[in-house]
C-alpha cells in the first residue's frame, strides 16, 4: 500500500494523559496517530489543551512530520461541560468548527481519506465524517455498554438520574440523521466490544473488532528488581477514576469479606473522582480503613510500578467501554478479576484472569471474594496467569501490532484506486 495523505480528528490526543485530557482517550489518540504516521502523512485536528504536551513530545524527538491544527471554543461555552448532555452539545459544536477548518485544509491540501479517532462513541456522530467529501473511517469506538439494571440500586440516586439522562441522550443522538449518515458513509466502523456492535445497524462487513487500549514495548518490559521483589502480604490494586459506574464499592465489600479470612491482605485504590469520600466512609463503616489505602492520580510510570508490585488487579467496573488498566495489568504480568461487560469483558480471558457475570450485586461480591481466595491460595496459578496475560499483551496489544492491524483494515476497505495511484 502506498503512502497516503490523511486527515485525522482526535479531540483527545495527549502524551501526558492528564486527568483533564481524558486520559484513556488521550492515550488512544496519541498512540494511534504515531502508528498511522509509520505508513502515511498525517494532519491532525485536536483541541488546544493538548498543544503543550504535543509540543514537548516534538521537542524531545518522540514524533516528527505530523501536522497538528489546534482549535478551541469560546470560554463562555465551557459551562456546557458540567454534565453529560451539555458536553455532548459542546463536543458537537467543536466538531462543527473542526469541519470548517477541515474544509479549508482540503482546499489547500489533497487528502486521500479521513479517519475520526477520538472522541468515539457509537451514538456520538462525526460531523466531518458525515459531510466532508472524503472516504471515511470511524473508530475505534465503544458506547453501547450500559449499567446492568440490577446494579442501578447500588449507586446514588443522583448518579441514577445521570445514567437515565445518558440513555436519553444516546437515544436522541442515535436517531439524528447525521448519525445515520455517518453509519451509512463510513467505509469501516471499528468497535471495541459486543455491546456496541448491537447498537450499530449496518452491513456486518463494515464492522471490525479493534481495541481502544494498547501498550508500548517500553511499558511491556518491567525492571527485574521489581519483578523479583517478594512479600508475605497479598496486595490487591484498583486504578481508575472513582466513579459510581466503576463498582469500587462492590470491590471494597468483597475485600472486606476476603480480608476477614486472610488478614495479611491489603487493597490499594489509585485515582480520584466524585465517589472518593463515599468510598472512604465505606471502609470506615466496615472497619477496614487500615487495610485500604487511597492514593491520588500518579504518573503513568509510577502506576505501572504499582501494578508490578501488586498480586492482582481487581477491576469491578460495570460500565466501561475500554479498560486500559486491564491491559496495563496484563502487560505487568498480573492476573485480573473483572466483570464480563464492555471492554474488560473483551480483554479478560480465563488464561489470564477471572471474569464474573454481572447477575446482581450480591452475586458479584460473592464471586469476587471467591476469585480473590482462589488467587491467594494458588501462587502457581497467579504466576501462570501473569505470564499468559503478558504474552497476550505482547502478541495483541502492542501499539505497533495495532498499527499493523489498522493498516490491514485500510487495505481492505479503502477504494482500490487510492492504492494504485
Instruction: Say which residue the cell 487510492 belongs to.
Output: 418
What's the CA gap between 326 and 312, in Å, rounded? 11
Q: Are residues 188 and 229 in the same domain?
A: no
d(CA 310, CA 291): 14
Q: How many domains does the chain have?
A: 2
- Answer yes or no: do 173 and 58 share one domain: yes
Residue 140, pLDDT score: 93
pLDDT at 231: 66
pLDDT at residue 5 in the model: 95
**pLDDT at residue 121 greater than cutoff 90:** no
CATH number of 336's domain: 3.40.50.2000
What mean pLDDT value characterizes the chain?
90
Record the pTM.
0.88
Could you tell me the pLDDT band of residue 222, with boundaries at 50, 70 and 90?
low
- Containing H/E element for 1? none
Q: What are 45-104's pLDDT values in tens digits? A: 999 999 999 999 998 888 888 999 999 999 999 999 887 778 888 999 999 999 999 999
Give yes or no: residues 345 and 237 share one domain: yes
Condensed to tens digits (0 to 9), the pLDDT of residues 225-283 reads 444 455 678 999 999 989 999 999 999 999 999 999 999 999 999 999 999 999 999 99
The predicted structure's pLDDT at residue 226 = 43
Residues 151 and 17 both lie in one domain: yes
Domain shared by 204 and 300, yes or no: no
Q: Would the pLDDT of 223 be above 50?
A: no
Q: Which of 312, 302, 308, 323 has its CA nearest to residue 221? A: 308
pLDDT attached to residue 224: 42
Coil, strand, or helix at residue 313?
strand
SS3 sequence of the chain: CCCCEEEEEECCCCCCCCHHHCHHHHHHHHHHHHHHHHHCEEEEEEEHHHHHHHHHHHHCCCCCCEEEEEECCCHHHHHHHHCHHHHHHHHHHHHHHHHHHHHHHHHHCCCCEEEEEECCECCECCHHHHHCCCCEEEEEEECCCCCCHHHHHHCCHHHHHHHHHHHHHHHHHHCCHHHHHHHHHCCEEEECCHHHHCCCCCCHHHEEECCCCCECHHHHCCCHHHHHCCCCCEEEEEECCCCHHHCHHHHHHHHHHHHHHCCCEEEEEECCCCCHHHHHHHHHHCCCCCCEEEECCCCHHHHHHHHHCCCEEEECCCCCCCCHHHHHHHHCCCCEEEECCHHHHHHCCCCCEEEECCCCHHHHHHHHHHHHHHHHHCHHHHHHHHHHHHHHHHHHHEHHHHHHHHHHHHHHHCCHHHHHC
Task: Indicate whether 196 and 334 sit together in one domain.
Answer: no
Residue range 187-199: mean pLDDT, rounded: 90
* Cβ atoms of residues 311 and 375 within 8 Å: yes
Across the range 154-177, mean pLDDT stands at 84
Residue length of the chain? 421
Does one domain contain both 182 and 51? yes
Query: Are 256 and 124 contained in the same domain?
Result: no
Do 363 and 402 have their domain in common? no
User: CA nearest 146: which of 165, 130, 128?
Assistant: 165
pLDDT for the residue numbered 342: 84
Top-confidence range, 10-24, 123-137, 147-161 = 123-137
Cα dihedral: 142, 363, 347, 245 (round 10): 40
- Give the domain extent around 9: 5-214+398-420
E strand residue ranges, 37-187: 41-47, 66-71, 113-118, 136-141
Say if residue 59 is exposed, middle or buried (CB neighbours under 10 Å; 0-12, 13-18, 19+): exposed
Q: Does residue 350 have a pLDDT over 80?
A: yes
Residues 372 and 382 in one domain: yes
Residue that is written with C-alpha cell 462525526 in the block:
126
The greatest distance separating any two alpha carbons of the chain, rounded to the nearest whole angstrom, comes to 69
Rounded mean pLDDT, 363-386: 96
The mean per-residue pLDDT over the stretch 275-299 comes to 94
Crossing angle (nearest 10°) for helices 379-392 and 324-331: 110
Q: Which candidate, 23, 5, 6, places its Cα nearest to that of 14?
A: 23
Which pLDDT tens digit goes with each residue over 18-31? Answer: 767 687 788 899 99
- Among residues 20, 53, 36, 181, the alpha carbon closest in space to that of 112 is found at 36
What's residue 227's pLDDT?
Answer: 46
pLDDT at residue 225 in the model: 43
Q: How far apart are CA 124 and CA 118, in angstroms?
A: 10
Here the cell at position 401 is: 501490532
Q: What is the spatial distance between Cα 299 and Cα 30, in angstroms, rounded to a whole number?
A: 16
Query: In terms of domains, do 265 and 157 share one?
Result: no
The mean pLDDT of 208-226, rounded to a whole number, is 76
Q: Report how far Cα 226 is from the mean position of its chain's Cα atoms.
A: 26
Residue 143 is predicted with a pLDDT of: 86
What pLDDT score does 229 carry? 53
Cα dihedral value 405, 183, 81, 159, nearest 10: -90
Burial of residue 250 (number of CB atoms within 10 Å: 0-12, 13-18, 19+): buried
Q: Which of 22-26, 38-42, 215-219 has the lowest mean pLDDT?
A: 22-26
Residue 319 banded pLDDT, cuts 50, 70, 90: confident
Q: What is the DSSP letter of 98?
A: H
pLDDT of residue 42: 96
User: Does 69 lie in the same domain as 152?
Assistant: yes
pLDDT value for 82: 81
Amino acid at each position: 500500500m502506498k503512502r497516503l495523505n490523511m486527515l485525522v480528528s482526535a479531540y483527545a490526543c495527549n502524551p501526558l494523559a492528564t486527568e483533564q485530557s481524558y486520559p484513556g482517550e488521550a492515550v488512544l489518540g496519541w498512540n494511534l496517530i504515531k502508528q498511522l504516521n509509520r505508513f502515511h502523512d498525517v494532519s491532525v485536528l485536536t483541541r488546544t489543551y493538548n498543544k503543550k504536551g504535543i509540543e514537548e513530545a516534538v521537542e524531545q524527538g518522540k514524533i516528527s512530520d505530523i501536522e497538528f491544527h489546534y482549535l478551541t471554543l469560546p470560554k463562555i461555552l465551557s459551562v456546557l461541560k458540567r454534565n453529560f448532555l451539555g458536553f455532548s452539545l459542546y463536543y458537537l459544536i467543536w466538531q462543527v468548527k473542526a469541519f470548517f477548518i477541515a474544509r479549508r485544509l482540503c482546499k489547500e491540501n489533497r487528502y486521500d481519506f479521513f479517519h475520526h479517532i477520538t472522541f468515539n462513541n457509537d451514538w456520538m456522530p462525526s460531523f466531518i465524517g458525515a459531510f466532508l467529501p472524503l472516504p471515511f473511517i470511524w473508530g475505534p469506538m465503544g458506547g453501547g455498554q450500559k449499567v446492568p439494571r440490577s446494579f442501578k440500586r447500588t449507586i446514588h440516586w443522583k448518579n441514577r438520574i445521570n445514567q437515565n439522562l445518558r440513555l436519553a441522550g444516546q437515544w436522541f443522538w442515535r436517531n439524528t440523521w447525521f448519525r445515520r449518515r455517518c453509519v451509512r458513509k463510513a467505509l469501516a466502523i471499528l468497535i471495541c466490544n459486543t455491546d456496541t456492535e448491537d447498537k450499530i445497524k449496518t452491513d456486518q462487513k463494515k464492522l471490525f473488532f479493534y481495541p481502544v487500549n494498547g501498550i508500548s514495548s517500553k511499558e511491556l518490559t518491567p525492571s527485574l528488581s521489581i519483578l523479583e521483589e517478594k512479600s508475605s502480604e497479598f496486595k490487591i490494586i484498583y486504578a481508575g477514576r472513582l466513579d459510581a459506574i466503576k463498582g469500587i464499592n462492590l470491590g471494597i465489600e468483597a475485600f472486606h469479606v476476603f480480608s476477614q479470612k486472610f488478614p495479611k491482605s491489603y487493597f490499594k485504590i489509585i485515582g480520584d473522582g466524585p465517589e472518593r469520600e463515599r468510598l472512604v466512609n465505606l471502609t470506615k463503616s466496615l472497619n477496614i480503613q487500615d487495610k485500604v489505602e487511597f492514593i491520588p492520580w500518579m504518573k503513568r510510570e509510577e502506576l505501572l510500578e504499582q501494578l508490578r508490585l501488586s498480586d492482582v488487579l481487581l477491576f469491578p467496573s460495570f460500565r466501561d467501554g475500554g479498560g486500559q488498566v486491564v491491559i496495563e495489568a496484563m502487560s505487568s504480568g498480573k492476573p485480573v478479576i473483572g466483570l464480563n461487560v464492555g471492554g474488560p469483558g473483551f480483554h479478560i480471558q480465563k488464561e489470564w484472569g477471572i471474569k464474573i457475570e454481572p447477575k446482581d450485586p450480591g452475586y458479584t461480591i460473592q464471586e469476587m471474594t471467591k476469585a480473590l481466595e482462589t488467587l491467594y491460595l494458588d501462587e502457581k496459578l497467579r504466576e501462570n496467569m501473569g505470564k499468559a496475560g503478558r504474552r497476550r499483551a505482547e502478541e495483541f496489544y502492542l501499539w505497533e501490532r495495532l498499527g499493523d492491524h489498522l493498516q490491514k483494515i485500510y487495505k481492505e476497505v479503502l477504494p482500490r484506486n487510492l492504492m494504485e495511484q
